[in-house]
């Protein structure tokens, strides 16, 4: 009786064993297939990053190699997630001039969000004048309401802008890098844990409506379908002109933030021409991807 029962159970155990083996085998197959898919994806991603960065650097190099003025340029391509940076002078220090006004406003909005308050009508008027018309007196007044020239350093720290520092005497001589400016721009135009959505929308609106006479720099070479939000900076320094242009560009083929910093330009026009050559080369390259 016992022997007969065991004989009946064996086929069931065998089927169960085979089933377990099959499931285990399928799981292993999926595991290794998944690893291969991930590896293929990473390889493709790496190729995209390499190609895009190489194309941009090649386009920039043809311009930078002919220049004596120190330049720092960086671009973050939102479509691919690729960040590319290049400089023809690794030891150069770049002063912000008026592009720091974006940080001044961002920090003021951060302070208000922390305190649960909003801009006063007076602050709103100053902010519009500072960003859209690049009014220097408005920038100074807003810094006073924030608590002084060095207050935006708190924003830099929160955002991880480790190479940006406010000048305690002259805000136009604050220092930064192109990649730090990308960090700020990404927090304004894409997403942020530091700036609220309403703050970001407010800043976008102002930067999208810059005075016509200041619509130069990263606007160069854009096609009719493109939109631009920007803030430029220009300042005559003892060693030449500081010319900077930063902002956000979108078109049918592209979506990116860009920062171009330059100093020691022989003239204002020469600096603007240099920045615009780089901006045009960037737009052409990214729209050809």
For the stretch 202-216, pLDDT in tens is 999 999 999 999 999
Asked if residue 30 is part of any domain, the answer here is no
Parent domain of 166: 52-287
**Which is higher by pLDDT, 268 or 15?**
268
Number of folded domains in the chain?
1
Is the pLDDT confidence value at 12 over 70?
no
| Beta-carbon contacts of residue 94 (< 8 Å; ≥ 6 apart) | 70, 72, 175, 176, 177, 178, 242, 244, 261, 262, 263
Report pLDDT for 27: 60
Asked if residue 16 is part of any domain, the answer here is no
Is the pLDDT confidence value at 289 over 80?
no
Report pLDDT for 280: 98
**Which is higher by pLDDT, 37 or 147?**
147
Is the pLDDT confidence value at 5 over 50?
no
> For residue 167, is it left (φ>0), alpha (ψ between -120 and 50) or beta?
beta
Average pLDDT over residues 95-101: 98
pTM, whole model, 2 decimals?
0.84
Which residue, among 241, 251, 250, 252, has the nearest Cα to 275 in the 3D structure?
Answer: 241
Average pLDDT over residues 242-249: 98
Asked if residue 124 is part of any domain, the answer here is yes
Asked if residue 17 is part of any domain, the answer here is no
Mean pLDDT of the chain: 90
Asked if residue 270 is part of any domain, the answer here is yes
Asked if residue 237 is part of any domain, the answer here is yes
| Beta-carbon contacts of residue 205 (< 8 Å; ≥ 6 apart) | none
CATH of the domain at 157: 3.40.710.10
C-alpha of 1 from chain center? 80
Asked if residue 35 is part of any domain, the answer here is no
For the stretch 58-88, pLDDT in tens is: 999 999 999 999 999 999 999 999 999 999 9
Which residue, among 134, 81, 89, has the nearest Cα to 265 in the 3D structure?
Answer: 89
Could you give the CA distance from residue 215 to residue 231 in angstroms, rounded to a whole number?
Answer: 9
| Beta-carbon contacts of residue 83 (< 8 Å; ≥ 6 apart) | 74, 75, 76, 77, 179, 182
Asked if residue 24 is part of any domain, the answer here is no
| Confidence category of residue 8, pLDDT binned at 50, 70, 90 | very low
For the stretch 125-139, pLDDT in tens is: 999 999 999 999 999
Is the pLDDT confidence value at 156 over 90?
yes
Q: Strand, helix or coil at 142?
A: helix
For the stretch 222-235, pLDDT in tens is: 999 999 999 999 99
């Amino acid at each position: 009786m016992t022997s007969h029962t065991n004989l009946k159970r064996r086929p069931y155990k065998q089927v169960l064993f085979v089933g377990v083996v099959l499931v285990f085998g399928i799981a292993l197959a999926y595991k290794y297939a998944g690893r291969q898919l991930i590896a293929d994806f990473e390889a493709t991603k790496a190729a995209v990053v390499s190609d895009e960065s190489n194309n941009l650097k090649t386009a920039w190099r043809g311009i930078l190699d002919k220049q004596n003025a120190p330049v720092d340029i960086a671009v973050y391509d939102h479509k691919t997630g690729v960040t590319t940076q290049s400089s023809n002078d690794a030891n150069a220090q770049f002063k912000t001039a008026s592009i720091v006004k974006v940080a001044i406003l961002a920090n003021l909005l951060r302070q208000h969000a922390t305190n649960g308050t909003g801009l006063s009508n007076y602050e709103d008027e100053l902010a519009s004048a500072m960003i859209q018309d690049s009014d220097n007196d408005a920038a100074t007044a807003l810094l006073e309401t924030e608590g002084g020239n060095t207050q935006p350093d708190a924003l830099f720290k929160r955002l991880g802008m480790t190479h940006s520092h406010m000048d305690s005497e002259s805000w136009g001589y604050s220092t930064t890098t192109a990649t730090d400016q990308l960090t700020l721009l990404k927090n304004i135009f894409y997403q942020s844990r530091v700036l609220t959505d309403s703050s970001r929308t407010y800043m976008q609106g102002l930067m999208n409506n810059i005075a016509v006479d200041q619509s130069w720099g990263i606007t160069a070479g854009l096609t009719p379908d493109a939109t631009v939000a920007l803030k430029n900076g220009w300042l005559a320094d003892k060693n030449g002109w500081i010319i900077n242009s930063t902002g956000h560009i979108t078109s049918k083929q592209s979506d990116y933030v860009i920062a171009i910093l330059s100093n020691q330009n022989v003239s204002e026009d020469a600096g603007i021409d240099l920045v615009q050559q780089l901006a045009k080369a960037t737009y052409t390259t990214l729209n050809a991807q």
